[in-house]
Amino acid sequence: MYAIPLSATLDAELRPLEPWQAPEFLAHIDRARPNTDPWIPWASGSADLESARETLQRYADRQAADTGRLYGIWLDGTLVGGVMFVKFDTRFGNCEIGVWTEAAGEGHGLVSAAVRHLLDYALVERGLQRAEWLSSTLNTRSGAVAKRVGMRLDGVLRSYFPHNGIRHDKEVWSILADEWASIR
């Protein structure tokens, strides 16, 4: 297995998150619910060991098909968040990145560092043309990460997504390969 350091000053790393880690993932998601449940349907759906394993298996299957991937962020040996390719489309050269964290993972720059690794992988190593980021307009922390890594706000999709009884407006952020090359 591999691990990518995320900080020069903290014991933090980015690693694949796989089905065999379902107990650790579920414990993390339980701690992260205040941060995830308002925004992320799959996190709400990971409510017990079986559904947590199913979530991780779904992304393992997407990784095998080269259509998505899921990574965890560990801080001092504890899973505190993650990043993912929600979609990864080599045919059209586009991907969508998503993130989540629990309170212990906030404020260290770990999510931003992990997203930069995903952008390098998608736009440099794999040669995709565009990376997207969709977030509820109510989730200001998410939009701040997109902006921090150099993405531009393309626009807002009004009343785009129903979740927890609310129709969310979704911001669409993106960065193109040549833009990423100029700022990385």
Give a yes or no: residue 3 inside a domain: no
According to DSSP, residue 2 is labeled -
- Identity (one letter) of the amino acid at 97? I
Give the CATH number for residue 66: 3.40.630.30
Give a yes or no: residue 4 inside a domain: no
Domain boundaries, position 18 = 14-183
Q: What is the pLDDT of residues 127-175, one digit of tens each?
A: 999 999 999 999 999 999 999 999 999 999 999 988 888 899 999 999 9
Give a yes or no: residue 44 inside a domain: yes
Give a yes or no: residue 98 inside a domain: yes
Q: Cα torsion for 87, 161, 174, 72, to the nearest 10°?
A: -50
Per the structure, the count of domains in the chain is 1
Residue % of the chain over a pLDDT of 70: 99
Give a yes or no: residue 178 inside a domain: yes
Roughly how many angstroms between the first and final C-alpha of the chain, as a whole number?
A: 26
Give a yes or no: residue 140 inside a domain: yes
Give a yes or no: residue 21 inside a domain: yes
What pTM was computed for the model? 0.94
Closest CA to 7 of 109, 85, 128, 147: 109
Q: What is the pLDDT of residues 85-136, one digit of tens each?
A: 999 999 999 999 999 999 999 999 999 999 999 999 999 999 999 999 999 9
Note whether 19 and 5 are within 8 A (CB): no
Give a yes or no: residue 8 inside a domain: no
